[in-house]
Chains A and B, each alone.
Chain A
Amino acid sequence: MAAHLSYGRVNLNILREAARKELREFLDKCAGSKAIVWDEYLTGPFGLIAQYSLLKEHEVEKMFTLKSGKLPSADVKNIIFFVRPRLELMDIIAENVFSEDKMHSSRDFHILFVPRRSMLCEQRLKEQGVLASFVNIDEYILDLIPYDGDLLSMEYESAFRECYLENDQTSLYHTAKGLMTLQALYGTIPQIYGKGDCARHVANMMLRMKREFAGSQNQILPVFDTLLLLDRNIDLLTPLATQLTYEGLIDEIYGITNGYVKLPPEKFAQKKQGEASKDLPTESKKLQLNSAEELYAEIRDKNFNAVGAALSKKAKIISAAFEERHNAKTVGEIKQFVSQLPHMQAARSSLANHTSIAELIKDITTSEAFFENLTVEQEFMTGVDTDKVNTYIEDCIAQKDPLIKILRLMCMQSVCNNGLKQKVFEYYKREILQTYGYEHILTLNNLEKASLLKLQTSSRNNYPTIRKTLKLWMEDANEQNPNDISYVYSGYAPLSVRLTQVLARPGWRSIEEVLKLLPGPHFEERQQLPAGLHKKRQQGENRTTLVFFLGGVSYAEIAALRFLSQMEDSGMEYIIATTKLLNGTTWIKSLMDRPESQIS
């Protein structure tokens, strides 16, 4: 089921298995049949750990969504609440439990807090008078979820907002804990680098936790050589730009959540079926996207302009493979052909799917609107006219394009100009308030607080210096056969990944000056390894770095890191971890405030 997790340099399946084991152990603690009441937010992340079949094996017969009122009736012995430790959820649980007691009294209640139990919540349950109704109150430590063979995500959507707007560092505590778990399974990571305030905080907590657990040191040969902690706010620009890799575009256009994408159904109508099913399906098509699918693994990180060629090449290979059957003469040959058939059919349907998706995306990328938007983005990134009111933004507002699109562009201009001139800034803000409504003043305030928008205070604009030193803009980006990470944005090399690249070679000392221009401290820490666990490196053996993006990472950045891993002379393999996978839209969305939603 999750074989793709074990293909990479680091077998992330160990982590998944550890998580599954813990889940099974908890379920077995509640003997007898059970129903799970889900905090809806958790179902996605849990899907990456365990399918329904696992739950079923452990006598989970029913699943409900947590909502106020009465619990649906179910003839089970145990009711288990799977929830995040949030006060508002505790109130709902209390309501559920109260309305339950009158009907049945024989059902046992349990709570499983994910990822950590909380005294605050238990106190709340106590105040509500239901704490004693629970047979088991437990925690399910699910910090880092294996998302793909080289990717871990905490699926913690609000991490960036909490850290930068609300000064709430809960997510960082979970991060540190998650990294401790990871080290328990994969050995102590000897070197820690970091840039940014959050990174510093996480590293501090990790070092402290290590001291606290001193003596219980595990005796595992370290799998990771280096940990690199990066704050999202040192590179605000990258996620704002439109991603131009295949996977990045799927995410930009359709949104990938917990590894799944929902696509418009028209293109996926079954063609070869009988006439009966000719009418188009109305439900959107849900596809799982990960490296388990061979073709997807091959094209996901390509620049979209190179995807067409890859698909047609693949199509030729597949049809050639099908042609083989004509050459199969002997029984042995036929048998071999037949044995490969399921694999080939899977490849063919995968090809069909991705051809359809590529067509859908192409319709959009070839549109004039997409082109204009991209042109403006690239102008900003290359520093063209970033200090004036941009007519395209102005027009988009006049046409009432989606607000998030406007905000993305505006933030981008602000970041590339090290803040906007007062006149420009206020003009934009007024335009937004007048067009989209005054309530967005809160969102604008938030973006300012997160430094995505700011007033230019000094006349010096650092961005061009950073761009030049780190070679963030490459004129001749090769989209087909890339030789630099800038291919993922057709010219722009993501700053975060550039920092990672420089760290590996020649080292950050060469860019001290630029690092000082970026917010927060940069640092290096070493963790002592127990004697005998120092790795003896083979000649030519790659080092492994875990890059942790605090506050989220985009698919294009991941693609760029994968590109670096694959470069022959890089000598480094990257595993990526993050609080959440994001793109400019989901990111901006997470920072928006909508007072209306609070009315209800």
Chain B
Amino acid sequence: MTFITANWNPLGEAFYRKSELYEMCWNLRDGLRDCLVAAAPYGGPIALLREPVRRSPSSRPQLEIYSASGVSIASFPWKSGPVVHLGWTVSDELLCIQEDGSVLIYDLFGSFKRHFSMGQEVVQSQVLEAKVFHSPYGTGVAIVTGSSRFIMATNIDDLKLRRLPEVPGLQGKPSCWVVLNQDRQTKVLLSTGSELYILDNTSCTAVSLPGLAPQGGSIVHMSVSFSYKYLAVLTDSGHLWTGPSHLQDKMSEVDTKKLTPPKQMVWCRRPKSQQPSVVLMWDRLLMVVGVCQDTIQFPTEDQCVLVGEMDGVRIISSTNQELLQEVPLVCQEIFKIASMAPGALLLEAHREYEKSSQKADEYLREIKEQSMLGEAVSQCIEAAGHEYDPNTQKSLMRAASFGKCFLTDFSPGQFVTTCRELRVLNSVRESSVGLPLTHTQFKQMTLQVLIDRLVYRQFYPLAIEMCRYLKIPDYQGVSRVLKHWASCKVQQKDLSDEAIARAMCAKVGDSPGVSYSDIAAKAYECGRTELAIKLLDFEARSGEQVPLLLKMKRSQLALSKAVESGDTDLVYTVVTYLKNEMNRGDFFMTLRNQPVALSLYRQFCKLQEQETLKDLYNQDDDHKELANYYVTASYREKRLESRLSLLQSAVDEYNKAKNEFSAKATEEEMRLLRFQRKLDDEKGAGLLELSLQATMEALLALGLYKQAEQLYRDFRVPDKRYWWLKLKSLAEKEEWDELEKFSKSKKSPIGYLAFVEVCMKSNNKYEAKKYVSKVTPEQRVKAHLAISDLDGAADAAIERKNDSEIATVLSRCSAADRLLIERLNRASTAKK
């Protein structure tokens, strides 16, 4: 514990420490010499491409992929062209940029994913240098070609190549260059030695470094910070200029007194850095140059690689890996020798308490007197997060817990969270997992991404345990892990379909959010159709199963799944697909087994393909629908002959359907049509399309009484309706004699009140009167009233001794009918 500061080195006001992360598990025979190395930030994987001594077809270079702790993940001979640069994407994919401008993408396990090219012209001119960079848009690639042109792709997942403008006077490659991300634009900053240029989409602008001493010399090395905010430039005279990357200012200029250019130069900062620095690496020396002009020097024995992180620099050598970082302020305050910060006192208090010493109380009292206990607890918790050694973490957390006991209103949130997060971090830092994340990096990266990374590395059990431990909702946690596991599992060629499906069902069960159809799609992609079908069976959402089933040509199954989903659009989609895929007979048979699909298809045909509709009904021997179909079809025919023949078909079908009524009605319609045509031909009556009733009406209007009569008899029209029709028609034409004749032809089936009323409608009181006497006694009052014969009405009412009728008549009387009123009243009272 006392030696915690042993590896601290002062730099200006601050301290830097270099602590070991791992002893590397790998066994590199030749160290890192003569290798292309790419190590991803956030404790990402390391890729090595060892150049053979002599390039020949027989001695291919070996591409090796390791975890950050040096555990071998993949290794295979490189069979493609010469590689200029290696780099990792944000999603842990390896980019191998070849001389000819093609970029090959491999996953973590060394399997080839895809490739793209940086443009046709590069094949000729070749890539001289390349860089992989990360921006909010994703992972990008920038190259400089043999013809000194820069070509850039800002997001390899949405490839758009940008050819940057020419740099005046540039021959070959520039002496050094970096990619900058400023104002949502990606630019290249390059130096030709003496000159400095900024290249953006449209222009190439010469710039200068503010305040660089004139004797500075030409630029040999540049480095941009993790956040793209700061720039460090080294000149051939060994001067290191630092400043913000927009080049408007200078932070400092330090003379390193080294004239050889370094192997690597990387920024070393942390959020809220007190004392940012730049780390330069030569063959046997590592120099930390603070902006404050102070430096620290570490000797190195081996070839190393520096990996810039957001809060420090990782130094990877063939034997071990260290993290160089500025000691976080809170750790400084606690561990600095003779610190009186509240956290430091609390740590001391706890230490004394463990020793059962009463000094614990003195320390505590001192903190409490300054009312700093809360602060002290927070400090301990925060510092614990920054410490890498679990023992240190524990003692700090214990101190915090101890201090918390004396506080009444201290929220436990921070303490609990930090405990959890430290457990997670410690478990992923394990050498076997090999993700040396700092707490700061972890916060930046987020838990979601960490889980993703574990999943990519196929640490499924750990990922699931973590999700459960952190109580992440299944949807974002366990389910996601299972999904990945499942799609990885289906690719295992050595397992039988049966075994995989069983394992899948056992593990995944019905975890929410795991889509079996996605897994099945994956299985199908790998050529395992049978497995895909088995897996689809587990899918709860039938709708999801359909597209894949169609793709796999399991159309019948697709159809029943579509029907099951209830989504009619989906059913239609499958039906349309089937229609194109199958011969007609099979298609109809398939539909026959799926009544829902069949009726939807019928609907479709009704609107789009009338002919098919007929075939469908025919196949099903649905005579009634077939008959209806013919009826509908008959109305589309202009020619009467074809219309009649369609109706005849309808009659036949109605008969087959044992629908006698409809058959007969249709026959009658045919008879009517023929009759109408005959009369139209003979008399130009214009009857076609009219109903029977309208036809008779028209005939009566034309005075063709005999023909109307004929229809009435032939079609067995009910007397009542015919009498009404004729009555109204005659009255309308004012054929009063004809009407009278008609009324006497036989006893009216509609009574005679109708005659009275219809005559009155034509304002013919004279004619109306003729029928009043024929009206039945029950309606007589009404009849008299209809012709405004109050006296008659009164007589009838009194005769019938009907109170309500008397009242009706009374209500129609006006004051002038005094006598009548008296008579009626008398009759009314006499009855009582």
Q: Which residues of A contact B (CB under 8 A)?
A: 85, 87-88, 116, 118-120, 123, 166-170, 172-173, 176, 201, 204-205, 208, 211-212, 214-216, 394-395, 397-400, 426, 429-431, 433-439, 441-442, 445, 593, 595-596, 598-599
Residues of A within 8 A of B717 (CB): 434
Given contacts A394-B720, A398-B724, A438-B669, contact A596 B566 (CB under 8 A): no
B600 in contact with A168 (CB, 8 Å)? yes
Bound complex: CA of A26 vs CA of B244, how far in Å? 42
A261 to chain B, nearest CB (A): 32
Q: Is B742 an interface residue (CB 8 A)?
A: no
Can you report 11 residue pairs joining A to B where beta carbons are below 8 Å apart? A119-B570, A120-B572, A166-B599, A167-B596, A212-B541, A215-B513, A216-B475, A216-B513, A434-B692, A593-B632, A595-B636
B475 in contact with A123 (CB, 8 Å)? no
A434 in contact with B715 (CB, 8 Å)? yes
Bound complex: CA of A172 vs CA of B604, how far in Å? 18
A431 in contact with B718 (CB, 8 Å)? yes
Can you name the residue of chain B whose Cβ is closest to the Cβ of A85? B569
B536 to chain A, nearest CB (A): 14
**A442 is contacted by which of B512, B632, B691, B724 (Cβ under 8 Å)?**
B632
Q: Is B421 an interface residue (CB 8 A)?
A: no
Residues of A within 8 A of B513 (CB): 215-216
Interface residues as binary, B545-571 with A (CB distance below 8 Å gives 1, 0 otherwise): 000000000000000000001111110
Bound complex: CA of A173 vs CA of B600, how far in Å? 14
A599 in contact with B636 (CB, 8 Å)? yes
Residues of B within 8 A of A438 (CB): 665-666, 668-669, 672, 691
Residues of B within 8 A of A118 (CB): 569, 572
Contacting A at CB under 8 A, from B706-722, are 715, 717-718, 720-721
Given contacts A168-B600, A394-B720, A397-B721, contact A116 B569 (CB under 8 A): yes
B593 to chain A, nearest CB (A): 15
Interface of B is mostly: helix
**A87 is contacted by which of B475, B602, B608, B668 (Cβ under 8 Å)?**
B608
Bound complex: CA of A184 vs CA of B600, how far in Å? 30
* 6 new A-B contacts at CB < 8 Å, known A168-B568, A426-B661, A431-B721: A87-B607, A168-B603, A208-B540, A434-B691, A438-B669, A595-B635
Q: Is B474 an interface residue (CB 8 A)?
A: yes
B245 to chain A, nearest CB (A): 33
**B665 is contacted by which of A169, A397, A429, A595 (Cβ under 8 Å)?**
A429
Bound complex: CA of A431 vs CA of B565, how far in Å? 45
B133 to chain A, nearest CB (A): 31
Bound complex: CA of A268 vs CA of B554, how far in Å? 65
Bound complex: CA of A212 vs CA of B661, how far in Å? 50
Contacting A at CB under 8 A, from B501-546, are 510-513, 540-542
Q: Is B662 an interface residue (CB 8 A)?
A: yes
Using C-beta atoms within 8 Å of the partner chain, give the interface range for chain B. 35 or more
Q: Which residues of B contact A (CB under 8 A)?
A: 473-475, 479, 510-513, 540-542, 565-570, 572-573, 576, 595-596, 599-600, 602-604, 607-608, 624, 628, 631-632, 634-636, 661-662, 665-666, 668-669, 672, 690-694, 715, 717-718, 720-721, 724-725, 750
Bound complex: CA of A593 vs CA of B632, how far in Å? 9
B569 in contact with A120 (CB, 8 Å)? yes
Can you name the residue of chain A whose Cβ is closest to the Cβ of B725? A398
Given contacts A441-B665, A442-B632, contact A170 B568 (CB under 8 A): yes
Bound complex: CA of A93 vs CA of B745, how far in Å? 64
Bound complex: CA of A201 vs CA of B602, how far in Å? 21
Given contacts A431-B718, A438-B691, contact A595 B568 (CB under 8 A): no
Can you name the residue of chain A whose Cβ is closest to the Cβ of B546? A119
B573 in contact with A120 (CB, 8 Å)? yes
B566 in contact with A429 (CB, 8 Å)? no
Bound complex: CA of A118 vs CA of B569, how far in Å? 6
Residues of B within 8 A of A211 (CB): 540
Bound complex: CA of A426 vs CA of B690, how far in Å? 21
Can you name the residue of chain A whose Cβ is closest to the Cβ of B567? A173
Leading 3 A-B pairs by shortest Cβ distance:
A215-B512, A595-B635, A167-B599
Bound complex: CA of A166 vs CA of B596, how far in Å? 10
Can you name the residue of chain B whose Cβ is closest to the Cβ of A88? B607
B247 to chain A, nearest CB (A): 35
Can you name the residue of chain B whose Cβ is closest to the Cβ of A429? B661
B741 to chain A, nearest CB (A): 21
B566 in contact with A205 (CB, 8 Å)? yes
Bound complex: CA of A172 vs CA of B566, how far in Å? 8
Bound complex: CA of A167 vs CA of B591, how far in Å? 14
Bound complex: CA of A430 vs CA of B672, how far in Å? 14
Which of B572, B666, B690 counts the most A-chain CB atoms under 10 A from its CB?
A: B572
Bound complex: CA of A167 vs CA of B597, how far in Å? 9
Bound complex: CA of A445 vs CA of B672, how far in Å? 21
Bound complex: CA of A84 vs CA of B474, how far in Å? 37
Can you name the residue of chain A whose Cβ is closest to the Cβ of B600? A168
Residues of B within 8 A of A395 (CB): 720
Residues of B within 8 A of A166 (CB): 599, 602-603
Bound complex: CA of A335 vs CA of B592, how far in Å? 77
Can you name the residue of chain B whose Cβ is closest to the Cβ of A162? B603
Bound complex: CA of A595 vs CA of B689, how far in Å? 12
Residues of A within 8 A of B720 (CB): 394-395, 398
**B666 is contacted by which of A120, A430, A441 (Cβ under 8 Å)?**
A441
B631 in contact with A442 (CB, 8 Å)? yes
